[in-house]
Structure 1
Amino acid sequence: ELATGSGGDGTGWEGSSAASGFLQEAGYTVRKDGPSTAKRQQILTEVLQGKIKLPNWLSETVQIQWGAPNSDERLKKIRNTLNVALGTQLGRSNPSAQAIKKWTTDIEFLDTKSG
């Protein structure tokens, strides 16, 4: 299920959580001049597979939430991180259509990875 945009503080991706900070550090972004669909999805896949390691600055509690590489927990954590960002963007008074399209595409891509 995709986010609907109800709720959220309208701030979008910026400064939200440790989870989105980790994906940003890994190179994932939906900025207009950001990486292509293939590159974004490669980053998400490498995070899922553990090829991109969890950073040391994530607290132990947060690292546990990410689960092991290739686990359902990690897949859900990545998907939920994108879905929260999508919902927040949808809740804005002037949402970014291109960001919404990219997040939706990437969530659908992640859905093909789940059992």
Structure 2
Amino acid sequence: MSLISTDQDRSHNESSSICHAGPYQPVCRTGFAQNTNTPKIDQRQVRQEQRIAQGVSSGELTAKESANLEKREAKIEADKQAAKADGVVTKQERAKLRHEEDVASRRIEQKKHNARKVTP
């Protein structure tokens, strides 16, 4: 690494980071794409919704149980949207969402296999 900065180094540094003052705070954008994609979480939400729907159709879930599970899924969706709101879903936010999905998955399993059944 050279201690002397060349014109190419300066132009790269200037083009990779753009900063300006916004009305409330300074805004900086780097040359890196911001990542708000959550494909694994999205897929998992779809699978869990399908598990809930299957439990309702088979009679394994009562109306109250399915409503509670749906409410939990809605909270996870709201948390996901909140994580995406700033333009970046951080590693910690992803971990929190995965944990919430893990808890929801266990709850679906428990509710589907408890003694409460809906007689068709």
> What is the TM-score when the length of structure 1 is the normalising length?
0.27
By relative contact order (CA 8 Å, sep 6+), the higher-ranking structure is 1
> What is the TM-score when the length of structure 2 is the normalising length?
0.26
Choose 1 or 2 for highest CA Rg: 2
Give the strand-richer structure, 1 or 2. 2
Give the helix-richer structure, 1 or 2. 2
